[in-house]
Amino acid sequence: MSRRPDELLDEMRLRRALHLEAGELPPHLDVAAIAARAAAGDPATLAARVATTAIAALAMSALVLFVTVAVSAQVPALAANGFDGAIALLARIAVPLEGVLVLAEEPTVPVTLLAAALFASAYELTQRRERARVVTPS
């Protein structure tokens, strides 16, 4: 194909880059051929499989080891921060509740609250009582 000097790409390359025509489609993967090739007992392929499996297992075990070491090094610091936060939260809650607790420690307050609850219950029971009429068959 002759190209003019002012053209950067020839027309055929440009058409291939934009879309594939029916005759330009790549070949399909043949699963049966891939499986037959894998089943073939080629010693070089077998050695390559064993080597790559060993390297992958070594890399995975190193990764697990690094993660275990990193987590075990960070757990005490994270636990201390969590415990510190829990104590600070408890202190923030306890300061406003101190006034309520001082009031509840007075001996008259619980007795008064108990008496008020009993009187309210008795009053409600008397107010809800309905008169019953007995109807006898004659």
pLDDT in tens, 106-115: 888 888 889 9
Note whether residue 62 is domain-resident: yes
Confidence of residue 22 (pLDDT cuts 50, 70, 90): low
Give the residue numbers spanning the domain of 59. 11-126
The predicted pLDDT at position 130 comes to 66
Note whether residue 109 is domain-resident: yes
Note whether residue 136 is domain-resident: no
Max distance between CA atoms of the chain, in angstroms, equals 126
The predicted pLDDT at position 7 comes to 60
pLDDT top residue among 62 and 27: 62
What is the value of pTM for the model shown?
0.36
- Total domain count, the chain: 1
Distances (CA, A) of 100 to 14, 48, 87, 88: 83, 76, 20, 20
